[in-house]
Structure 1
Amino acid sequence: MNPINISKPFTLANGQVIKNRLFKSAMSEQLGDKQHNPKSGIAKLYQRWAKGGIGLSMTGNVMVDRNALGEPKNVVLDEQSDLSQFIEWANAGKQNDSQIWMQLNHPGKQIPKFLCDKPVAPSAISLGGGLEKGFNTPRALTEAEIYEIIAKFTTSAKLAKQTGFTGVQIHGAHGYLVSQFLSSRHNQRDDKWGGSLENRLRFILEVYRAIRKEVGNDFPIGIKLNSADFMKGGFTEEESMQVVQALSANGIDLIEISGGTYESPSMMGAKNKSEPVKASTIKREAYFMDYMVKVRKLVSTPLVVTGGFRTAPAMNEALSTSATDFIGIARTMAVDPDFPKKLIEDSNYGMPLTVPTTGKPALDKIAMVGLVWYEHQMRRIADGKNTDPKLSALSVVVKTIFSAGWHAFRKRRA
C-alpha cells in the first residue's frame, strides 16, 4: 500500500473528491464592501490560491446576520446580498480542480463596542480577561431569537450552495456564538438550551440539522470546533469529544479542530498568555495533535488539524498516523500562494515563518501586527500584486491607521 501523504486525494462520504490533503483554513480577508458584499479582489485572491495547488479552500468567516458583525469589513450572505459577486468568488475558488467551502458564523457577544451597543449571547455574561473594555455586555437571547438565528444559518448555507460554493463550514470555535452555547462558562441558561452538555449542544445540532434539511445529503457540511476553551469553567476536552461524537452520529462531513477563545487564544499556539508552546508541539509542528489521536479512536468522520504546520515532512508524518485526514494551513498561504504546490513537488520542502514586528513590542500588541501584516499580504494578492515577505510591519501599521483609524486594531478574530 502507498503511504498516505499530502498529495493523495480524499473522497468524502457523499462522493465529493478533494484532490489532495491540503486544507486552507479560514483567515479574515477583510475584503467586504460597505454593503458587506465581497469586493472583486476576493475572487482574485481565491483564484490565486486555487492555482497554487490547494485541495480545499475555506473562506474567511461569512456572517449570517448583517446586524451582527464581528469586524467592520465582514462579508454577509443573506437575502439582501448581491449574489453575482458570490458567484464570481465561488467560480474563482473552483479553478484548477480545487474545492471552496464557505465558513458561516455569528459572533454572538464577540462584537466590538464600536459596532454594536447591545450584542446577544446565550446568557447576559460579559467577556473577561480585560476584554470587557472593548466589548459590551450582551443580553440573553430569547428562544424565538435562537430559532431566528438557526434560520439565518440555513439561509446563508442555501445561498452558498446556490452561488456555487462546494460546501459550508459552521464556525463553532474561538468563542463565537456556537462556542458560547457549548461553554458552561458563557451559557448559564436554565431552559432546554443550557445546563447539561446535552442541552448546550442542542444549538449546534439544530443549526446542522436545519442546514442539512435545506441543502441535502450531497452537499458537504463541516464544522470548526474547539478541542477546549482552556478556561476555568469553560468547554472542556472531554465535552468537545462528546460533541464530536454527536455531530459524527448525525452525519457531519468534516470536522476541523482548533482551540481557545479571545480570552484564551490557544489557536495561536499556547493555552494562555503565560504558558509557552510545548517542545513536543514545536517538533511536530501541530498544536492539537494530542487531541486528534484521542478523538480518532471515537469517530471515523474525516478530520482536519490546523495550527503550526510549516514543513512537508511534519505534515506527512501527521497523516501517516491516521489521526488526521487533512492538514490545515493558513498564514503560509498568505505569504506564498504556491506553498501547496511546493510541498507536493518537494517532500522535504518547508517554509518557516518569522514573526512580523515593528521593533516595539507594545506597538506590536496594540496594533495586532501578527494579524494585520497577513491581511495586508492577502490584500496585495487581491490587488493583483505579488506578496512581499519583507513587508515592513511599521508601514503596515501606518497604512492601517490611515485607512481605518485605530478602530482597525480593536480585538478581532483569529
Structure 2
Amino acid sequence: MRLNSTLKLPCGAVLNNRIAKAAMTEGLADPQGRPTAELQRLYGIWSDGGAGLHISGNIQIDAGHLERPGNVFFGDQPDSEMMDALLAWTKAATRHGNHFWAQISHAGRQTMRAVNPHPKAPSAVKLGLPGGQFGTPVALTEDEILNLISRFGQASLHCKNGGFTGVQIHAAHGYLISQFLSPRSNERTDRWGGSLVNRARFLMFTINTVRTLVGPHFPISVKLNSADFQRGGFAFEDSLQVARWLQDAGVDLIEISGGTYEQPKLLGIEGMEAEDAQNVAATTLAREAYFVDFAQAMKSELKIPMMVTGGFRTASAMEQALRNGAADVIGLARPLCVMPEAPKRLLGGMAMLPRTENQLKLLPEWLSGLRKIKTVRGIEGFATQYWFYSQIYALGRTGRAQPNMTVFAALREVESYQKGWLKAHRAAKG
C-alpha cells in the first residue's frame, strides 16, 4: 500500500491519494459567519499542496455555540451571500481535483463564555477546567435535541449545495455529540442518556438525517474519539461498538481521534487527571502516531475505511500504518500550517516532515522547569495551539507562514483578533 494509491469509498467516491489535510479550526470567517477571501486563499494553497482529501475546520450549526470566534456558521437559512461565499471557497479548495469535506459541528458546553455564558448541552455538567473561560451549561429539552439533529442535516445539505464534496460529522474532542456519547457529560435519564444505545442515539439519528438529505453517493464521515482518556468517560469498547453501528448505517469513513478539552490528547499533551487504561497496546502513548493502535484494533473487526490523524511525521510510519491495516487514510494537520506543500513532498519521496513543535520557544525557562505539573503542560499545549492559529492566519492573509513568530506574539495576536471579531459579530447581530 502506497501513499499515492487511490481509495474508493463505500458510496462510490474516490480519493486520489491516501493523504488528508485533517480539520483545523481557522477562525477566518467574517462576523456574519461567511467564508472570506482569506479562507479561499488558505484552501487554495492547501489544494496546491497535493492531499487527496481536505476537511474544513468547524462549520457550526448554531451561531450561539461556536468553538471559537471566527468559525463559519449557519443561521436558520443561508442567504445568497452565504451560498456565494461557500461556492467561492469550495472552488478554490478543490482546484486540483481533490475532495473538500465540510466538518459540521456544535460546541455544546465547550462554547467559550465570551460567546455564550450558558450554552446548551446534554446535561448541566460544567467543564472541569480552571480559569472561568466556560460557563455553566443548560440541559437540552427533547424538542431542542430534535431541532439540532435537523440542523445537522440541513447544514450538510447546504454544504453539498455550496460545492463541498462530502461532510464530516464531528463526534469527537468533547463537542456536543461527543458530550452525548460520554457518561461523564451525559447524565440524562431519558432516551438520550444512560445506556450506550441511548447515548449514541443523537449521533445515529444525525447520520440517518444527513444521509436522507444528501443522498447515497455523497461521502459522510464521522470524527470519533477512540476514548475520552478520562475515568468514567467514553471508553474504547464504547467507541468500537459505535463504529460498528456507523458502519451498518452506511458511513463512508471514520476518523479516529481522542480526548476532550479536559484531557486534550488531540494536542498530544496530558490534561488535568490520570487517564484510564485502555485495552490496546501500551505503545499507543509512545509511538509517532497517537491513535494507530486504537484504529488497528477497530480495523480487526470492521471493514469501514479508517483515517488516523495525530503525530505522523515520517513517510515510513505512514506507509506502515497503511500496510498493516491500521489506516486507510493518513491525516496531517500541524505540518501543513508551515509546509502547505507537505503532501506533495511526501508523495515525491520526502522521508520526514519538520517537527515545528520542537523549534518553538514555548515558555520562559523558569516555567519550562515546571513541566511535570499537568496544569502547566496543559497551558503549554494550548499556547502552542495558538501559535498554529497564527500560522493559519498568515497563510490566509498573505499566502506565507511566519515560522519565526514567538508563542507570546501569537497569543497576543489571537486574543486581539478574537476580541475584535466578537465585537463585530455582536454589532452585526444588532
* TM-score past 0.5 threshold: yes
- The number of residues matched between the two structures is 403
Match of 2:319 in 1: 316
Alignment CA distance shift 1:303-1:366 (3 Å): closer
Tell me if the contact between 2:21 and 2:332 (Cα under 8 Å) persists in the aligned partners: yes
Give aligned-pair identity as a percent: 38
Alignment CA distance shift 1:367-1:317 (3 Å): closer
Alignment CA distance shift 1:247-1:402 (3 Å): closer
Aligned-residue offset at 1:284:
4.3
Alignment CA distance shift 1:250-1:84 (3 Å): same
* Residue deviations 1:342-386 (CA, integer Å, cap 9, x gap): 101015243222342354248993894311211111122212332
Amino acid in the other structure paired with 2:357: T
Distance in 1 separating the partners of 2:125 and 2:320 = 42
Amino acid in the other structure paired with 2:231: K
Aligned-residue offset at 1:196:
0.5
Aligned-residue offset at 1:404:
4.1
Unaligned runs of 5+ in 1: 409-414
Equivalent position to 2:53, from 44, 48, 56: 56
Match of 1:304 in 2: 307
Distance in 1 separating the partners of 2:282 and 2:203 = 34
Amino acid in the other structure paired with 1:87: L
Amino acid in the other structure paired with 2:306: L
Aligned-residue offset at 1:401:
4.3
Match of 1:66 in 2: 63
Work out whether 1:119 is the aligned partner of 2:119.
yes
Tell me if the contact between 2:157 and 2:214 (Cα under 8 Å) persists in the aligned partners: yes
Distance in 1 separating the partners of 2:382 and 2:419 = 13
Match of 1:83 in 2: 83
Amino acid in the other structure paired with 1:182: L
Aligned-residue offset at 1:130:
2.9
Q: Secondary structure at the match of 2:72?
A: coil
Match of 1:357 in 2: 361
* Residue deviations 1:11-39 (CA, integer Å, cap 9, x gap): 11222111100011110111011111112
Alignment CA distance shift 1:292-1:370 (3 Å): same
Q: Secondary structure at the match of 2:247?
A: helix
* Residue deviations 1:48-84 (CA, integer Å, cap 9, x gap): 1111101100000000112222212111034135111
Tell me if the contact between 1:260 and 1:271 (Cα under 8 Å) persists in the aligned partners: no
**Runs of 4+ deviating beyond 6 Å:** none
Distance in 1 separating the partners of 2:301 and 2:46 = 33
* Residue deviations 1:272-299 (CA, integer Å, cap 9, x gap): 45779x9945774110111111100111
Alignment CA distance shift 1:96-1:177 (3 Å): same
Equivalent position to 2:294, from 291, 294, 298: 291
Distance in 2 separating the partners of 1:115 and 1:14 = 37
Alignment CA distance shift 1:65-1:401 (3 Å): closer
Match of 1:412 in 2: none
Tell me if the contact between 1:342 and 1:349 (Cα under 8 Å) persists in the aligned partners: no
Q: Secondary structure at the match of 1:168?
A: strand
Match of 1:227 in 2: 226
Distance in 2 separating the partners of 1:293 and 1:402 = 42
Amino acid in the other structure paired with 1:30: G
CA RMSD of aligned residues (A): 2.3
Match of 2:99 in 1: 99
Equivalent position to 2:334, from 331, 336, 349: 331
Distance in 2 separating the partners of 1:127 and 1:224 = 21
Tell me if the contact between 1:305 and 1:328 (Cα under 8 Å) persists in the aligned partners: yes
Q: Secondary structure at the match of 1:191?
A: coil
Amino acid in the other structure paired with 1:315: M
Work out whether 1:391 is the aligned partner of 2:391.
no
Which is worse superposed, 373-382 or 141-150? 373-382
Match of 2:427 in 1: none
Match of 2:216 in 1: 217
Equivalent position to 2:21, from 24, 30, 39: 24
Tell me if the contact between 1:227 and 1:240 (Cα under 8 Å) persists in the aligned partners: yes
Aligned-residue offset at 1:180:
0.5
Tell me if the contact between 1:311 and 1:351 (Cα under 8 Å) persists in the aligned partners: no
Amino acid in the other structure paired with 2:225: N
Alignment CA distance shift 1:237-1:402 (3 Å): closer
Alignment CA distance shift 1:146-1:340 (3 Å): same
Tell me if the contact between 2:58 and 2:67 (Cα under 8 Å) persists in the aligned partners: no
Distance in 2 separating the partners of 1:310 and 1:54 = 15
Aligned-residue offset at 1:182:
0.4
Which is worse superposed, 30-39 or 379-388? 379-388
Distance in 2 separating the partners of 1:271 and 1:310 = 20
Alignment CA distance shift 1:402-1:225 (3 Å): closer
Aligned-residue offset at 1:126:
1.1
Distance in 2 separating the partners of 1:165 and 1:91 = 9
